[in-house]
Amino acid sequence: MKIFLDCSDPDLIKSAYDTGLVDGVTTNPTLMLKTGQNPVDVIYQISEIFSWTSSVSAEVVGETAEEMLEAAVEYYNIAPNVTIKLPCTIQGLLACQDLTRDGIKTNVTLVFSPAQAILAAKAGATYISPFIGRLYDQYTDGIGLVKEIKEIYSMHNVETQILAASIRNPIDVPRCFAAGADVCTVPISIFFKLYGHVLTDKGLEMFNRDWADLQEQLYAEQ
């Protein structure tokens, strides 16, 4: 059970990593656009935050498998913790097979159906990323998809890990894990919201108040 950050800002990632509860990172071209920096430089900075056994997903763009593989070279040469993120298309899965044969970790993204999850697993993907939030946008049960993929993978002893993505609500994190996700990747705002609960706040307020009253009482008795 792992939590990744869906983020491309190294400073924000470091602030969450320092909690000791973050296991990796996913990025995409949209997130990279927000940085305004060379994506290779950004991935290098992020990869330095994590151990070499972690996963930092760097997404490649290209019309053909050859173009994707060429783009992947700059990323996977950065560090062993870099995972190459590829689209769930014919060309993307061809590239996935080549990278897998070379021992390079892959993350097949934009997965919206069990059939796509099956093909990605057959291509040797390390992770697949079903997009939960985007499915809900289309009135489709995103967490139900995670559960269905998990059932298929478990039945056939598939090693590919389910990385639930496009999570927009803190409550969907435990729901995805309950459905069988191996990893949830979340925006940094969602990550910090996982700590919160109104009853925790009220309980802490009460305990702090009572502790202060106790100290005052003990001081008065001296």
Tell me: the pLDDT tens digits for 59-115?
A: 999 999 999 999 999 999 999 999 999 999 999 999 999 999 999 999 999 999 999
* Domains parsed from the chain with CATH numbers: 2-196 (3.20.20.70)
Contact 85, 109 (CB under 8 A): yes
Give dist(CA 87, CA 103) in Å, integer. Answer: 19
Q: What is the pTM of this model?
A: 0.94
Q: Cβ of 68: how many Cβ atoms within 10 Å?
A: 25
Q: Which of 14, 34, 85, 202 is catalytic?
A: 85
**3-state DSSP percent of the chain in helix, strand and coil, to 5:** 50, 20, 30
pLDDT tens across 105-164, in order?
A: 999 999 999 999 999 999 999 999 999 999 999 999 999 999 999 999 999 999 999 999
122 as an active site residue: the answer is: no
CA–CA dist 201, 207 (Å, integer): 10
